[in-house]
Structure 1
C-alpha cells in the first residue's frame, strides 16, 4: 500500500455483540494453518459476537487448503465463489465451482479447496457449530446460484431472494442471496432472534443497523446480531445484492 496520501479514516463501524460494517480497505491478512497461497481475512467471529466465523479469501494461482477445512464432528462449513473458479472436495466427492458456485459440508466432513486455473479466485468462507436434532442429519450439498431462479421476497416484485441450501429441517442454517432493484427496500425494519453474516456482491445502499442508517457498497461485510434492527434501501444504478447466512429450524436454547 505504501505511505498514506491523506488523513487516516475508515467507513468501518464495530459494535461488539450487536452489529458491524467492515469495509475492505481496512482488512489485514490472517495466517490460517493449512491455507497456502491465500490472502485470507477473518470477518465475523465469536470475538465480534457472532456464533459463526466468516472469511474472505483471495485464493491465488495454485492456492489450496492442504489440511482440509472443518471436519470436526460438530462443525459445518460452507464456501461461495464470488469470482473465478476452484476445485472443491467434500471428503471423496469432488466439485468444479465457478462464479456463484458453492459447497456445504456437514459435520464430520472435511472441505478441501484448490485453485489451479491460472488466476485469482475470491471466496466467501464460513463455519459454525452444528446444532443437532434427534433423528436428523444434513448432507453434502453443492450447486451454482446462477442456476437457481429468484422468487419474490414478501410479495414484492422489486426485491428477490434465492435459497442456496435445502429448506429441510435437517439443516440448522441456510444461505440466501437477496437482491434489491434500485430504490427498493425491505417491507419493514426487521427485529428477530436470527443473526446474519452478509457479503455485498453488487450495488450500493443505505443499511439500517440498530436504527443507525449507514452507507454500504459492493465488497463490504455486515454482521447483524440477534434482535438488531435491520433493513436496506438500494441506491445507485445497479441492484444491491448480497449473500448471507441465517440460522433456522431450531428452538431457542435455555
Structure 2
C-alpha cells in the first residue's frame, strides 16, 4: 500500500487581495465546505480541553447533519483533556491526521500516530493528551449511540489504517477500495467511519441514492463529485455533507489517489414519528 498522507487545515487568514469567491455551497441536499473556509476565525473551544482548538464541520441541525457531529481538533504540545466527552450517550471515532496523541481508554494508554484510529463506546472512561513537541490534529466523529435490547454495546478498539487492508469493490480491478474498521455485519455498531480509496480514473459508476447520511472529508487528491444534480470539483481538505437519499457518485480525475474519511449511520430501524390523536 502507498504511504498514506493526510490533508489538515491551514488556518490563518487569506490576504486582503485574494478573491472572495470560492466553492462553498450549502443546499437542502448537500453542503461543501472547501478547505479555504477552515480559517483561524472560525475555530472553537471546548470545556475541559487545554491548549486545543477545533473546526466544527458538522453538527446536528435542522436542514444539516441529523445523526452526527464531526470536528477537526488541533492539540498543541501538552494539550488535551481528562474529560473529553461530556455526553454519556455519545460514541466516538478518533482519526489522527498529523502528529501523535496518547489516548487512554479504560486505563490503557495507546499512542496514536498519523493514521491512528480509535473507537470509543458510550460511557467509556477515556482521555487524550499530546505528549509530543509538535502539534497533533485528529478528526473526532460523534454520534448518540442507539441501544437495542439484547444487543451488547461494542468494545473499544485502537488500530492504524496501515493495518487495515482495503476491500476491493466488485468489478473495479482495485481502482475502488474501502478500508472498513468494523465488520459491516456486526449490528452492535450503528455507525461506520471508513476510508474510501480511488486510483486515478476510478469511479462510482452510478448515482448512489440510499438511506445513510454521509460526512466525507477528503484526505488526499481531487475528484469531481456528483451531489444531487450538480457535478462539483473537490480536493484534499474539503468536507462534504450529504443528506440521506442525496444522489451521489464520483470520478477520480487527478494524477494521484483520491481518498476520503467517510461517516454513515447503519444497522438500525428508521425512527417513526408518533402523532397524538
TM above 0.5, one fold?
yes
Distance in 2, Cα, partners of 1:222 & 1:151: 23
User: Between Structure 1 and Structure 2, which shows a larger proportion of strand residues?
Assistant: 1
Which residue of 34, 39, 43 corresponds with 2:57?
A: 43
Which residue of 7, 12, 15 corresponds with 2:27?
A: 15
The list of structure 1 runs, each at least 4 consecutive aligned residues, that deviate by more than 3 angstroms after superposition, is none
Distance in 1, Cα, partners of 2:171 & 2:104: 37
Q: What TM-score do the two structures reach when normalised by structure 2?
A: 0.86
SS at match of 2:252: strand
Q: What TM-score do the two structures reach when normalised by structure 1?
A: 0.94
5+ residue gaps, structure 1, are none
Map 1:182-193 to 2 at 5 A.
182-193=200-211
Q: Mean Cα displacement is larger for which, 133-142 or 175-184?
A: 133-142
Question: Residue 228 of structure 1 aligns with which residue?
Answer: 246
Which residue of 5, 8, 16 corresponds with 1:4?
A: 16
Distance in 2, Cα, partners of 1:186 & 1:246: 17
Map 1:124-203 to 2 at 5 A.
124-136=139-151, 137-157=153-173, 158-167=175-184, 168-203=186-221
Question: Residue 76 of structure 1 aligns with which residue?
Answer: 91
Cα pair distance change 1:142/1:211, threshold 3 Å:
same
Quick check: 1:244 aligned with 2:249? no
CA RMSD, 1 decimal: 1.6
Distance in 2, Cα, partners of 1:226 & 1:208: 14
Distance in 1, Cα, partners of 2:74 & 2:23: 22
SS at match of 1:235: coil
Q: What is the aligned residue count?
A: 252
SS at match of 2:207: coil
Which residue of 107, 129, 139 corresponds with 2:122?
A: 107
Distance in 2, Cα, partners of 1:4 & 1:132: 50
Q: Mean Cα displacement is larger for which, 98-107 or 164-173?
A: 164-173
Distance in 1, Cα, partners of 2:242 & 2:265: 12
Cα displacement (A) at 1:3: 4.7
Q: Mean Cα displacement is larger for which, 83-92 or 199-208?
A: 83-92
5+ residue gaps, structure 2, are 1-12, 273-277
1:71–1:109 CA contact under 8 A, matched in 2: no
SS at match of 1:185: coil
Distance in 2, Cα, partners of 1:165 & 1:44: 23
